[in-house]
Amino acid sequence: MGKYAITYDIGTTGVKTCIFELGDTIKLVSAASEGYKLYVFPDGGAEQDPQEWWDAMCSTTQRVLDKCDVDIKDICGISFCSQMQGIVLVDKDGKPVRRAMSYMDQRARKELKEGIAYGPQIAGAFIPKLLKSLMITGAVAASVKDPVWKYKWVEKNEPENFKKVHKWLDVKEYFITRMTGEFCMTHDSAFATLLYDIKKHEFSKSMCKMLGVNFEHLPEIKKSVEKVGELLEQPAKELGLMPGTAVFGGGGDASLIGVGAGSVALGDTHIYSGTSGWVSTVVDKSIVDASAMIAAVVGAEEGRYNYFGELETAGKCLEWVKDHLALDEIGIYLEKKNITDGYEAKYTSLYDYMTDAVKDVPAGAGGVIFTPWLHGNRCPFEDPNARGMFFNICLETGKSEMIRAVLEGVCYHLRWFLETEEKKVKSSEKVRFVGGGALSDLTCQILADCLGKVVETVDTPQNVGAMGAAVLIAVGLGQCKSIEDAKSLIPVSKTFEPNMENKKAYDKYYEVYKNLYKSNKENFAKLNS
């Protein structure tokens, strides 16, 4: 009998649930996806309902089991890959005291200003506090979207809810608690609170005191590959799994998507485009570029970090295009009859159909440039007031050019990340590209042309987070020596060589792209602050 793992990739727009067979390779057996809501408010709030997460998880678990002949008795482990820097405040019973605050939430501007953004500053932080933060945590909570300010926002604005708080959890940690009754955080999630001592590998009481956090609210820290508990009877019944199944720590998406991409060796670079997007390179020490909001975040493997810059609205821009451009007159969905109602099918079709509509538009989208800052921007500049725009539209511009401009705009920003990161670290010559964006050969080619680098993809690139979680189970069970061994288990499926003629065009537009924020910073502030 084979051994199987079930893993959950808990993203911003939906959960992907996968069953993998663990053997000489890690093989995907069954997968299902389901979406849930992101509640966005005019004041910058962005929340999600943990019960909606759980309902989607239960539904997809049943669907993956129905689609294969795996006996639940043969499932030897459960693990997670999840969005990070959310905040799920729970009571003593592990029940949320309010809806979860997404990493996208930017309501805590006043709390940020009062907590760290005052007096003599560097990179938006009071210099003494910045220096102390860098020394202890290797980073600094200088963004309105950092979790500590969400915590402080609840404390100030919802005192009755705050009184009920027993523990501060991140997204996957909520599921660990719900499944096992254990309150814990993995090291990468603990780091993402920016209250984590990177030398002592524990929460820092000194940082908590400086930022006004109740140290008792922070849970025990566990390793990503560690068995953290066993599945309790009631959640097992709801999921349709066996009570007593081992539950492993798992990791955040910033930690595990690179693992699932096979980008795990020192110096390996991967690019992700899902709801959010990022560029990440594996390093062996703490590195920070505070001015560009880039830091080396703790990885799933001990002694490894991911030097990481994030764009919060990458695939989200494509979703916006679907809703407001593609569904109208182009008729991408209206003309195609083979679309199903499933979340994953729609997501895949989005890329298939939209890229088909724009494939003949020349590089540069007829001179149109799109800025993908639909919910502010974090890196390489921090500005919650920044917004998306189409620049240089003319009479000849059509929707096809505008849609292509969105694809290119996301790629321009990813290039900006890469070039900014290369001031501190050397990226790999070949880049692994994963996430929903990698489902489109056109997007892969645009990225290769824009970067001037070879771009590689893997099988089912939309499932790499879940694959990374499966790797952790394999390591935890001793079937795999280390996380770095995953590189041999995850081969390249496609390779895209850069078209240097297209790169010349992109070089021209890219320089304009970078200037657009500087030219419009004051206007963004007037309209959105």
Residues 208 and 323 in one domain: no
Residues 347 and 406 in one domain: yes
**The pair of three-digit structure tokens given for residue 451, joined into one six-digit string:** 């970067």
The pLDDT value recorded for residue 340 is 39
Residues 388 and 249 in one domain: no
* Residue with the larger pLDDT of the pair 524 and 322: 524
The pLDDT value recorded for residue 296 is 82
Give me the helix-helix angle, 399-421 and 343-358, nearest 10°.
100
Task: Specify if 495 maps to a domain.
Answer: no
Residues 386 and 477 in one domain: no
The pLDDT value recorded for residue 344 is 44
Residues 467 and 358 in one domain: no
Give the structural domain span for 27: 3-262+462-489
Q: What's the CA gap between 172 and 466, in Å, rounded?
A: 12
Q: What's the CA gap between 69 and 140, in Å, rounded?
A: 48
For the beta carbon of residue 437, count every other beta carbon within 10 angstroms.
27
Those residues whose C-beta lies under 8 Å from the C-beta of residue 59, and which sit 6 or more positions away, are 34
- Looking up tokens 């079937």 gives 479
**The pair of three-digit structure tokens given for residue 65, joined into one six-digit string:** 């089991």
Percent of the chain surpassing pLDDT 90? 69
518 three-class SS: helix
Is 510:450 a contact under the CB 8 Å cutoff?
A: yes
Is 435:350 a contact under the CB 8 Å cutoff?
A: no
Q: Is residue 347 over pLDDT 50?
A: no
pLDDT mean across residues, the chain: 90
Q: Is residue 300 over pLDDT 50?
A: yes
**pLDDT (tens digit, 9 = 90+) per residue, 66-101?**
999 999 999 999 999 999 999 999 999 999 999 999
User: pLDDT category, 166, cuts 50, 70, 90?
Assistant: very high
Is 6:61 a contact under the CB 8 Å cutoff?
A: yes
Is 281:274 a contact under the CB 8 Å cutoff?
A: no
Those residues whose C-beta lies under 8 Å from the C-beta of residue 337, and which sit 6 or more positions away, are none
The greatest distance separating any two alpha carbons of the chain, rounded to the nearest whole angstrom, comes to 65
Q: Is residue 346 over pLDDT 50?
A: no
Give DSSP secondary structure letters for 395-436: TT--HHHHHHHHHHHHHHHHHHHHHHHTTTSPPPSEEEEESG
Q: What's the CA gap between 327 and 239, in Å, rounded?
A: 35
Q: Is residue 510 over pLDDT 70?
A: yes
Q: Is residue 20 over pLDDT 60?
A: yes
Q: What's the CA gap between 12 and 291, in Å, rounded?
A: 27
CATH number at residue 335: 3.30.420.40
Residues 145 and 43 in one domain: yes
Task: Specify if 496 maps to a domain.
Answer: no
* Residue with the larger pLDDT of the pair 123 and 35: 35
- Looking up tokens 């030897």 gives 76
**pLDDT (tens digit, 9 = 90+) per residue, 204-220?**
999 999 999 999 999 99
Task: Specify if 307 maps to a domain.
Answer: no
Task: Specify if 436 maps to a domain.
Answer: no
Q: What's the CA gap between 70 and 66, in Å, rounded?
A: 9
| Helices and strands in the chain, H and E counts | 18, 28
Residues 406 and 483 in one domain: no
Task: Specify if 306 maps to a domain.
Answer: no
Q: What's the CA gap between 205 and 526, in Å, rounded?
A: 39
Residues 472 and 510 in one domain: no
Looking at the 3D structure of the chain, how many domains does it have? 2
pLDDT (average), residues 158-167: 98
The angle at the Cα of 284, spanning 278 to 287, to the nearest 5 degrees, equals: 60
Give DSSP secondary structure letters for 119-160: SSEETTEEHHHHHHHHHHHSS---STTSHHHHHHHHHHH-HH
Q: Is residue 333 over pLDDT 50?
A: no
| Residue 519 buriedness (CB in 10 A; 0-12 / 13-18 / 19+) | exposed
Q: Is residue 374 over pLDDT 80?
A: yes
- Looking up tokens 């979406």 gives 35
**pLDDT (tens digit, 9 = 90+) per residue, 7-17?**
999 988 899 99
Task: Specify if 432 maps to a domain.
Answer: no
Residues 251 and 384 in one domain: no
Percent of the chain surpassing pLDDT 70? 94
Work out the end-to-end distance of the chain between its first and last CA atoms, rounded to an integer number of angstroms.
Answer: 60
Is 387:374 a contact under the CB 8 Å cutoff?
A: yes
pLDDT (average), residues 319-341: 56
The pLDDT value recorded for residue 416 is 96
Q: Which alpha helices (DSSP H) does 70-126 contain, by range? A: 109-115
Q: What's the CA gap between 196 and 395, in Å, rounded?
A: 54
Out of 87-91, 105-109, 433-437, give the one with best mean pLDDT: 87-91
Is 296:258 a contact under the CB 8 Å cutoff?
A: no
Task: Specify if 290 maps to a domain.
Answer: no
Residues 484 and 507 in one domain: no
Task: Specify if 62 maps to a domain.
Answer: yes
**pLDDT (tens digit, 9 = 90+) per residue, 221-260?**
999 999 999 999 999 999 999 999 999 999 998 889 999 9
**pLDDT (tens digit, 9 = 90+) per residue, 186-197?**
999 999 999 999
Residues 471 and 511 in one domain: no
| Residue 159 buriedness (CB in 10 A; 0-12 / 13-18 / 19+) | exposed
**The pair of three-digit structure tokens given for residue 143, joined into one six-digit string:** 């963004």
Q: What's the CA gap between 76 and 244, in Å, rounded?
A: 10
Q: Give CA separation, 152 vs 48, 92, 140, 159, 362, in Å.
A: 18, 20, 16, 10, 48
Report the C-alpha dihedral over residues 519, 520, 521, 525, rounded to 10 degrees. Answer: 160
Q: What's the CA gap between 483 and 302, in Å, rounded?
A: 9
**pLDDT (tens digit, 9 = 90+) per residue, 451-503?**
999 999 998 898 899 999 999 999 999 888 888 887 777 889 999 999 999 99
Q: What's the CA gap between 399 and 331, in Å, rounded?
A: 11
pLDDT (average), residues 196-202: 94
Q: What's the CA gap between 225 and 420, in Å, rounded?
A: 32
Q: Is residue 2 over pLDDT 80?
A: no
User: pLDDT category, 334, cuts 50, 70, 90?
Assistant: very low
Residues 378 and 505 in one domain: yes
Q: Give CA separation, 180 vs 13, 50, 175, 250, 341, in Å.
A: 25, 16, 8, 14, 33
Beta bridge partners of 47: 39, 101
